[in-house]
Amino acid sequence: MKNFCLDIGNTRAKTAIFDQQKLEHFQYYDTEDALILPQKLDSIIYAKVKTLPQHWYEAIQKYQQKYPNTKIITLDARTPIPIHNRYKTPHTLGTDRLAAAVGAYALYPQKNTLIIDAGTCITYDFIDQKGQFWGGNISLGLQMRAKALHQFTEKLPEITINTNSPPHNLIGTYTEEALINGIVGGILAEIETTIQQYKAIFPNITIIICGGDAFYLEKKIKSTIFALPNLILHGLNSIAHYNASLP
């Protein structure tokens, strides 16, 4: 079974082609790019936190006209999924968070798992060993914190945090360094505190970090975690397989 999975985030989109569970092709997209779809897919599934670009919607519709047996799945609160969603307001739940939970349970079945998605926002979500998704918390991401410090002050500059740069000094000796130290240090303290709170209740909990800043933050976190930047895409693939198995 070959699936095309599309994760439309706040900053950019990611796509993956899966053959069964194997990721065959991965690509980043800007929303103005033309969407390239391979021939003879079994399904196209997408999760979005903002509106699907019109030219992508049209490309998907034209594809289905050419290949009518291809199943198109727009992930939302009504989509059948292979886990139990216990979120109290499922219609307000970001589909990226839901797909990440499915991906986590597919990769680590029967495990209590904390998912940290470090992108434009940072989300903390919990799925238990029975496959029940309970929800979590939402915080500001690296670049959003940097923009907020500039936007809501008169003199602080707007900075871009280079996630490929080495660590800075403990004490910021100039304003840009002080901002980076405060932003990164605050996020790391938040992540470590959250992990310890979950470990106090679930000592053997599995910790996964995904999203665009996953590798940058994973190197700085003291706790043992697994960095899986494409977790959402794996979750979308699992949802596509699950829907294909339904009568």
Give me the active site residues, please: 96
Q: Which amino acid is at 149?
A: L
Task: Please enumerate in sequence order all residues whose Cβ is within 8 A of that of 165, keeping only pairs 6 or more positions apart, or say none.
Answer: none
CB atoms within 10 A of CB 207: 20
CA pair distance 50, 10, nearest whole angstrom: 7
Distance CA 156, CA 134 (A): 38
Asked if 31 and 141 touch (Cβ cutoff 8 Å), the reply is no
Task: Summarize the chain as % helix, strand, coil (round to 5).
Answer: 35, 25, 40
Give exposure, 217-237, as e/b (b: 16+ Cβ within 10 Å): bbeebebebbbbbbbbbbbbb
Q: Which of 123, 230, 217, 224 is nearest to 163 (CA)?
A: 217
Residues near 152 by Cβ (< 8 Å), separated by ≥ 6?
Answer: none
Is there a contact between 6 and 28 (Cβ–Cβ < 8 Å)?
A: no
